[in-house]
Amino acid sequence: MAGGASGSGGTGDIQAVQRVGQLLALFTVHRPRLTVAEAATLVGLNRSTVSRYFGSLVLAGVLERARDEPAAYQPGPLLMQLGAVAQGQRRVLDLAPGHMRRLSRETGLTTVLSLLGPTGPVVSLVSEVGTSPILITVRVGTTLGMDSAQGHLFLRFSSDREGFAAWWAGLDPVTRRRVEAEVAEVHLPRPGHADLVGTWKYRLTDVRNVLERASARETAARVAGGALAKAFLRALGVEVRSHVVQIGSVAAPARDRALTVEDFEGVDDDPVRCLDPEASRAMVEHINVQRKANESLGGVFEVVAFGAAPGLGSHTSWEARLDGRLAGALCSIQAVKGVALGDAFDVAGRPGSQAHDEIFYSDERGFYRETNHAGGLEGGMTTGEPLLVRAAMKPLPTLTKPLRSVDIATHEPADALRERTDSATVPAAGVVGEAMVAFVLAGAYREKFGGDHLDDVREAVAAYEERIGWRRG
């Protein structure tokens, strides 16, 4: 008797599963919603039976009622999670691995593909970098929080707003408020930043899409790459250094002699990377005073390249002139608004007899100059004198006491966006400037001397320097 009851119950369970399968199979891309009456007609069951099944499936999270059509049912969050798992054996995840491996190789990072589950992105595929000494990964099947980076992407760019209403409801209030603040659109452009024009140019409604891409954080990668360029130049006898000569209204006094590489020893130990101790102390004090007044400060930094061979760059065309390439490279640094090569703006006010570097010759030194007003550049080419480039940086546009602006959504007056910011970044900009000058000089060396091996370049440079009789100062 007991055995017969068990067998009967098992058969009933199987039939119930089959009916659930039939009902769920009714939902397709072209039929994403169904009423009880429609489903009953399609599978040949009475309405009360279909209603009971649908009610149980809603309680399980497999289906949910459509918010704008209460009589209709649609796939619920659990069904979406199961769909994500099922897609692991479908076309999207058949195609993804090759692209993910290539992306991992190119970036040196772990690549993760997630599909949306009931409470957040569900990791469906992971591609790791096998050569990385440190491996940071996540297991397939892990559900990431909606406050994760991938969760932010789904929140911002998914078109399934109804589905998100259900997922959003599952977040605890604290997490919800934090995520809302992180993904909410920003409509308050900052004067002096890329914010407003960037939204116009790319047809955007969210200022954050502009400000994050325009941020100077990307210069960290430039400094990393610049370290390689500087190492290449060092192997050729070229040293690139930088220092701060002005912050706000405080400027270091003019030096009574030309700088040498040795003068830069310990520059990174100074809080503002200034070579003059008294000026450094005055700059620090000026920053502190202006910070308390909710102000930011700009300034001027100088990059010096010692030992660059004559003839890098060319006078033959505008795009080959090293002056323009250096100016462009330095002006590409965020907040840099002007570049001076050598004495630049100072010589603009002098007569010609005091503006140029006279040429001398001796058997011991070869051709040489006693001044360097040109900053090591004439006719778009290096002269063999130290390369001197200064860059003027404006105060950062993000202020702790924001300037006036306009909400781009409502067109109403408002204070500009307030973000985390620094009072003065001129010292850091000088380091970025070193990297940019190194990039340009390394490229100029490669263009002039070629070579598939560093020794090839060294030999070509040595032969050239011997031919023109140039001696390093």
d(CA 396, CA 410): 26
Helical spans, DSSP H, in 63-194:
77-87, 91-107, 149-157, 161-169, 173-183
Contacts of 395 (CB under 8 A, 6+ apart): 192, 295, 296, 297, 298, 335, 424
Exposure on the CB side of residue 187, measured as CA atoms within 13 A: 12
257 residue type, one letter: R
Exposure on the CB side of residue 34, measured as CA atoms within 13 A: 24
CATH class for domain 216-468?
alpha beta
Q: Say how far residue 303 (Cα) sits from the centre of its chain.
A: 24
Fold for 82-184, please state it. Beta-Lactamase (3.30.450)
Beta strands across the sheet bearing 387-393: 250-251, 239-247, 299-306, 387-393, 336-341
Rg (CA), the chain: 33
Pick from 245, 419, 396: which is nearest to 334 by CA? Answer: 396
Angle, alpha carbons 331-337-341 (nearest 5°): 65
DSSP lists the bridge partners of residue 366 as 362
Domain boundaries, the chain: 15-75, 82-184, 216-468
Q: What is the pLDDT of residue 130?
A: 62
What pTM was computed for the model? 0.67
Element (H, E) at 208: helix 208-214
Q: What is the pLDDT of residue 6?
A: 41
Fold for 15-75, please state it. Arc Repressor Mutant, subunit A (1.10.10)
Q: What is the pLDDT of residue 84?
A: 62
Q: What is the pLDDT of residue 448?
A: 96
Contacts of 227 (CB under 8 A, 6+ apart): 435
d(CA 348, CA 370): 20
Q: What DSSP assignment string belongs to 39-87?
A: HHHHHT--HHHHHHHHHHHHHTTSEEEETTEEEEEEE-HHHHHHHHHHH
Q: Is the dihedral of CA 453, 454, 457, 463 positive or negative?
A: negative
d(CA 215, CA 282): 29
422 residue type, one letter: D
Phi, psi angle pair for 359, to nearest 5°: -105, 135
d(CA 247, CA 426): 7
- Bridge-based pairing of strands 404-406 and 413-415 is antiparallel
User: What tokens does 4 get?
Assistant: 């017969």
Phi, psi angle pair for 447, to nearest 5°: -65, -40
d(CA 151, CA 163): 14
For the chain, 473 residues long, give each residue's pLDDT as a single digit of tens: 334 444 444 566 677 888 888 888 888 766 888 999 999 998 889 999 999 999 989 988 889 888 778 889 988 877 776 766 665 555 666 777 888 888 887 777 778 777 666 556 777 777 776 655 555 556 666 666 655 666 666 666 665 556 566 666 666 777 667 666 666 788 999 999 999 999 999 898 889 889 888 888 899 999 999 999 999 999 999 999 999 999 999 999 998 899 999 999 999 999 999 999 999 999 999 999 999 998 999 999 999 999 999 999 999 999 999 999 999 999 999 999 999 999 999 989 999 999 999 999 998 888 999 999 999 999 999 999 999 999 999 998 888 888 899 999 999 999 988 877 788 999 999 999 999 999 999 999 999 999 999 999 999 999 999 999 998 86
Q: What is the pLDDT of residue 153?
A: 64
d(CA 348, CA 194): 32
Q: Token pair 């058997």 is at which residue?
A: 363
Residues constituting the chain: 473
